Amino acid sequence: MRNIKLTLEYDGTNYAGWQRQTNAVTVEQKVEEAIEKLTGNHCEVIGSSRTDSGVHARAYVCNFFTDSAIPENKLKGAINNFLPEDIVARECEEVSLDFHARFCSKGKRYIYTVFNGRQRPVILRNYTYYYHRELNIENMKKAAKYLVGTYDFSAFKNKGSKPRNSIRTVTEVGIVKKGDFVIFTVTGNAFLYNMVRIIVGTLLDVGCGRFEVDYIKYILDSKDRSKAGKSAPAAGLLLDEVFY
């Protein structure tokens, strides 16, 4: 038995997220089908995280076990032959049997892209959040600093989710303006459900003046989801890297 670590880039536009569902097409399903076609055997892939419907990935990591004898250096190309064009295997390597894409993950980096110009090109509609209001980037950067550290992020998680605990460590909330784009980089050891999107939505509320800079600290302390801003749309979000 071999354990294969697979790194995928995908365009999430046409998928109901990563995780398999009965009534919708997901990335996991497409990846499992590709491996099954290649190896001839049933395959269950272990993902590093769920991603929401419409969220993209530059380097999503998953792993799977196989008895296939296909050489390591041929696997990536072989899997790509069976994947649709919006999912691409970027790396494929044999790892020790105890590697687990989710449990072994030490952290993740997400990138969120906002289009803040006058007229968004049509071809960016699935990859950016079109935000019209003028943004005070300096205030957003100041507010973002309150989110770096180890805190109970209950105010920044989807109401429906019930994690064992809501303490997470965020190591970076970067904000850069490049032309018409405002790009958020959020890195942490792990994330609650919708956490990055709620962080972005809340920082945009600071940027447009709806929230004072210091109000972010109050939201964090409140542990109350209703105090934070809206969850920013899925299309702007990209899982950039998973750390091991």
Q: Which 59-98 positions form the footprint of its own copies (CB under 8 A)?
A: 85-88, 90
Q: Is 52 a catalytic residue?
A: yes
Residue 2 · residue 65 · CB < 8 Å:
yes
- Residue 56 binding its own copies, by CB under 8 A: yes
Q: Which 146-175 positions form the footprint of its own copies (CB under 8 A)?
A: none
The catalytic position among 52, 67, 180, 205 is: 52
- Contacts (Cβ under 8 Å, ≥6 apart) of 134: 208
Q: Which of 127, 130, 181, 218 binds its own copies (CB under 8 A)?
A: 127
Q: Which of 9, 36, 94, 172 binds its own copies (CB under 8 A)?
A: 9
Closer residue to its own copies, CB minimum distance, 27 or 232: 27
- Residue 36 binding its own copies, by CB under 8 A: no
CA distances to 5, 96, 111, 117 from 135, in Å: 41, 48, 18, 11
CA 83 to chain centre: 20
CA 93 to chain centre: 22
Closer residue to its own copies, CB minimum distance, 9 or 152: 9
Of 74, 66, 2, nearest to 35 by C-alpha is 66
Distance CA 173, CA 196 (A): 10
- Residue 10 binding its own copies, by CB under 8 A: yes
Chain residues binding its own copies by CB under 8 A are: 9-11, 56, 58, 85-88, 90, 119, 121-123, 125-127
The catalytic residues are 52
